[in-house]
């Protein structure tokens, strides 16, 4: 078989097999790389969109607690249980009051009304209103006779003024509470007024403690949900950034793959054309030699 026939035979094989297979693989690679490129572009566009952030709404605070007239009336209505034994009576003496000139300093009309209402409320519970002094048994002498000491007992006025200043900040609120309590004193019997005031002080403390616990729980829940939302938002941002980087890598890989396959095919085409030229030159040399 001459070289020309051999060349033509391999040329046919190259045309029918090598280049057909190369073109098929080229389009397969191009299709895969193209789909990857489109998918990577879509993922990149998705990663550019900022993630959504949940709107955390704080739970509403409950209304400020109030002690009602019905609660006080229910509390003071049951008669006190009779004592099983009779306790010895203690001698109670009022502390000597010093002559004090009231309102020497200039005060506004609301504060003056508050002071007047507090004094008026004290007239209903005289025995337990101010600081009193109580005699109590400290021991017994050689003849069995008791010896007494004296101790100060804080009255209802101190406890009442403490809750009035702690829970009611505005002067108008204090006036409203004082007028409400004076109305309560008129509603209940004279023997129940002291207990009514004690119940008001206790109920107010209990309700405000419950109110503050509820507010702290709401603030704690809101802070926890807000921190959780911020953490989820940051995680979403990080994941989208990571996804965008992967999409850029995929786009670059697809472009490189297409370029690489095309370059290989170019090399094959150049090699084929080079062989054909070389064969042509060899035939021309042989013909010239003859």
pLDDT in tens, 31-86: 777 777 778 778 777 777 777 777 777 778 888 888 887 888 788 776 555 555 45
- Which residue carries 């403690």 as its tokens? 209
Q: Rounded to an integer, what distance in angstroms lies between the CA atom of residue 81 and that of residue 71? A: 20
Nearest in space to 264 (alpha carbons), one of 30, 10, 7: 30
- Tokens encoding 117: 């209402």
pLDDT tens-place values along the chain, 290 residues long: 455 555 555 556 656 666 666 667 667 777 777 777 778 778 777 777 777 777 777 778 888 888 887 888 788 776 555 555 454 454 444 445 555 455 455 557 888 988 888 888 888 887 778 665 566 677 777 777 777 666 655 678 888 888 888 888 888 999 999 999 999 888 888 888 888 888 998 999 999 999 999 999 999 998 888 888 888 888 888 888 888 888 888 778 777 777 777 777 777 667 666 766 666 667 677 676 65
In this predicted structure, what is the pLDDT of residue 213? 92
8-18: pLDDT as tens digits = 555 566 566 66
How far does Cα 112 stand from its chain's mean position?
Answer: 44
Q: Rounded to an integer, what distance in angstroms lies between the CA atom of residue 123 and that of residue 144? A: 40
In this predicted structure, what is the pLDDT of residue 90? 46
- Tokens encoding 70: 């019905």
In this predicted structure, what is the pLDDT of residue 81? 58
- Which residue carries 């029918």 as its tokens? 16
CB atoms within 10 A of CB 244: 17
In this predicted structure, what is the pLDDT of residue 37? 75
- Tokens encoding 118: 């507090």
Give every CB contact of residue 284 below 8 A, 6+ residues apart in sequence.
none
In this predicted structure, what is the pLDDT of residue 210? 92
Q: Using N-to-C axis directions, what is the helix angle for 69-76 and 193-289, rounded to 10°?
A: 130
DSSP letters, the chain, are --HHHHHHHHHHHIIIIIHHHHHHHHHHHHHHHHHHHHHHHHHHHHHHSPPP-----PPPPPPPP---HHHHHHHHSSPPPPPSSPPPPPPEEEPPPP---TT-S---HHHHHHHHHHHHHHTTSHHHHS-EEEEEEEEE-TTS-EEEEEEEE--HHHHHHHHHHHH--SHHHHHHHHHHHHHHHHHS-GGGHHHHHHHHHHHHHHHHHHHHHHHHHHHHHHHHHHHHHHHHHHHHHHHHHHHHHHHHHHHHHHHHHHHHHHHHHHHHHHHHHHHHHHHHHHHHHHHHH-
């Amino acid at each position: 078989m001459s070289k020309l026939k051999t060349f033509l035979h391999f040329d046919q094989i190259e045309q029918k097999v090598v280049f057909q297979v190369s073109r098929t693989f080229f389009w397969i690679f191009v299709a895969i790389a193209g789909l990857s490129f489109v998918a990577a572009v879509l993922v990149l566009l998705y990663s550019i969109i900022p993630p959504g952030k949940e709107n955390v709404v704080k739970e509403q605070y409950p209304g400020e607690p109030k002690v009602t007239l019905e609660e006080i009336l229910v509390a003071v209505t049951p008669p006190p249980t009779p004592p099983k034994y009779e306790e010895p009576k203690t001698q109670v003496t009022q502390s000597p009051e010093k002559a004090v000139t009231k309102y020497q300093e200039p005060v506004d009309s609301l504060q003056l009304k508050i002071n007047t209402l507090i004094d008026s409320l004290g007239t209903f519970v005289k025995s337990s209103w101010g600081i009193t002094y109580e005699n109590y048994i400290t021991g017994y002498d050689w003849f069995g006779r008791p010896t007494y000491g004296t101790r100060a007992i804080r009255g209802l006025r101190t406890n009442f003024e403490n809750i009035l200043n702690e829970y009611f900040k505005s002067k108008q609120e204090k006036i409203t509470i004082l007028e409400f309590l004076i109305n309560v004193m008129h509603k209940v019997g004279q023997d129940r007024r002291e207990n009514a005031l004690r119940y008001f002080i206790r109920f107010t403390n209990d309700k405000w403690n419950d109110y503050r616990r509820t507010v702290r729980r709401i603030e704690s829940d809101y802070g926890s949900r807000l921190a959780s939302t911020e953490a989820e938002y940051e995680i979403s941002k990080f994941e989208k950034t990571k996804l965008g980087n992967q999409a850029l890598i995929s786009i670059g890989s697809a472009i490189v793959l297409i370029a690489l396959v095309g370059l290989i095919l170019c090399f094959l085409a150049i090699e084929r054309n080079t062989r054909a030229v070389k064969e042509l030159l060899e035939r021309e040399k042989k013909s010239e030699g003859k």
